[in-house]
Structure 1
Amino acid sequence: MNNGYLETTKNIYKDAAENPQVGLCCTTTPIWQLPDLQIPQRMLEMNYGCGSTVNSRDLVNNPKILYVGVGGGMELLQFAYFNRQNAGVIGVDVVDEMLEASRNNFMAAESLNPWFKSQFIDLRTGDALHLPVEDNSIDIAAQNCLFNIFKEDDLKQALKEMYRVLKPHGRLVLSDPTCETKMPESLKEDERLRALCLSGALPLNDYVKMITDIGFGTIEIRAKRPYRILDPKHYDTEELIFIESVEVCAIKDPMPIDGPCVFTGKTAIYYGDNEYFDDNNGHVLMPNQPLAVCDKTAGNLSALNKNDIFISESTYFYDGGGCC
């Protein structure tokens, strides 16, 4: 990374590696509490994320895992908890000092966790725009509060790289800030604010569209939470800017002919008198049995104008078992 804002980002996180800065990113998700998992204090202090990318239902059958932007190594350690294979988890970072800090944190983790070995994690120097990883070799790829830093062209390239390295049906798990208020140009161009995961936040629909434009056929919105406020008193903005963090899983499924399946937490419930309702498009609704539906299916069901099907609003929480 050698252009403008990316160089600023690199310098900020070089300093954060050498001098941990609690609250550099405001994590809004409680730290995983798992049996026999102890996280070193310094690793906790270097938890520079805005959510979590670790989900146990993604991590069955010993998947090969890639994590980009290692921070203090906490999520790498959590991924290794589920994997426990030599080099089963790959960590990539452009900041050498952050890689070195993670190595030290893993040695501390070994003393706290008898099950853990540092060789479970393969740390590599590289950046998100040119991943040092083979094509179609990864089951689960993840990043936490990194991609929102990128400007549009770089974000597209980072997403293309994740798509390239994932196996078919592999999962890209992301946690990033989003913002529905138009971000002032002065804030968007502020290199430090962008590096601190504040001014690069996109509206959620734009964020999802960038992911699906790369080719991911299924999108899951798993969580959406309040994150930060940019106010006129402290920032160059005329109005209050509310930022949320979102956790998303993008699956490398084939793209459906009628467009991607995006799950935002909508549910369909059939409460008619028949034994079931079949929309003749692959979706069967049983009476009073809620079915999670993607936004596309929700729209199609709503267009039928039936008075015995209820479609909920988006909850922005989805944990599987849906229509597609």
Structure 2
Amino acid sequence: MTTPAVRIGALLPTREMAILDVFSITPLLDFARRAESLGYDSLWTGDSLTARTRLDPFVVLSAVSSVTLSIGLGTAALTASLRHPLLGANMVTSLDHASGGGRLTLGLGAGFPMPESEDEFTNLGVPFTGRVGRLDETVRYWKTTWSARSSDVRAHEGKLWRQDGLDRLAAPATAGGPPLWLASSDTPKVLARVAKLYDGWLPFLPTTSAYSAAWGQVQDLAGEAGREGAVTPALYATLNINPDADKAKTALDDYLQGYYGRPLEVMSTFQAYGWGSADDCAEWIAGYVEAGARHIIIRIGSLDPGDQLEQLAADVLPAVRRLGVAL
């Protein structure tokens, strides 16, 4: 069996702009053009109104699609439950068409378990409790909507929503709709949800051993559900490159204090962080590739990520891709 190629994406610095209180679409478009010219496979953006403020992901990705040719586009991650699924389905369909079809992947999150995330749900009148079930039902709703024109099933019947006539909505450019990945951890319930419902798994696990064990479980469960090979193994990882590892670590800690209000010591207990020279970072990512990851989304841990975007492309991406070919 041929090993799937390793794809590498970059996170657009929408949150970094908010931290600096400098909002402009122009730097994001410049970043996107550079990433495509440097050979990145995909571009991603996060989603938050008040918890970790940034520009709207649908607007950002639509703008990015207009200045790039074929690079993949995605959300990492979209808090889909903050939008009514009927509205959300049409927004995704519209973006799929705006970007030319086939470029879009949606990483979806239920909502980060932090007080500021709960406040965000409250501000929008959406219950924070039950958010996991709300997300899964949203995914089922969307999949029904996007296949309604070619299926006998034209209504969604769920616990939270019931909707007839879904075939009246515009059909996405991508048959069946864009792939839907679950941005998540590695608990047994999460892995079961990934295997049964989602098209990809987007964790941020802090160790390669945890990743390998969880990915093995996803594969087994997907096989049992008749979905062998249906789930893309991805990874959300944060890097800071500097030949001086201590300086890279300090810069990363400063970045996280601004991003989350929490230090690296805390965040690294449950998220994936790498730092040091380009060789160090390439070796660190390679460990996840050996553990099964095939689409790496890199968040550059710096409020000025431009220079590191170049370094990653020159020194890290080729090494990781060569590993993928050799496996």
The structure where strand makes up a greater share of residues is 1
Flag whether TM exceeds 0.5 (same fold).
no
Structure number with greater CO (CA < 8 Å, separation at least 6) is 2
Higher helix proportion: 2
Q: TM-score, normalization: structure 1?
A: 0.30
Higher Rg of the two aligned structures: 1
